[in-house]
């Protein structure tokens, strides 16, 4: 995988974590309906786990042999 591909994966992972943070905030402080609150939290935690796994992949895949 090229360095540019790894950069885009890391940007996506950071975006997932930022969206997750916003969804958890909305879920805990702005929504009163329990079903919608649960759905927002579920989506948030799924995005957080996906972002975490992407970052783990980027960190442990090592450097690419660039020019």
CB 27 within 8 A of CB 61: no
pLDDT at 63: 82
41: domain range? 3-60
pLDDT at 38: 95
- Write down the pTM of the prediction: 0.85
Give the mean pLDDT per block of 10 residues along the chain (67 residues): 90 97 95 94 96 94 73
pLDDT at 62: 83
Angle (nearest 5°) at CA 46 between 42 and 52: 145
Q: How many domains does the chain have?
A: 1
Composition of the chain by helix, strand, coil, percent to 5: 80, 0, 20
In order of 6, 20, 33, the CA distances from 48 in angstroms are: 18, 6, 22
């Amino acid at each position: 995988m090229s360095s540019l591909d790894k950069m885009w994966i890391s940007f996506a992972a950071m975006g997932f974590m930022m969206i997750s943070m916003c969804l958890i905030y909305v879920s805990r402080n702005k929504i009163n309906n329990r079903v919608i609150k649960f759905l927002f939290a579920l989506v948030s935690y799924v995005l957080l786990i996906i972002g975490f796994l992407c970052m783990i992949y980027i960190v442990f895949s090592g450097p690419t042999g660039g020019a």
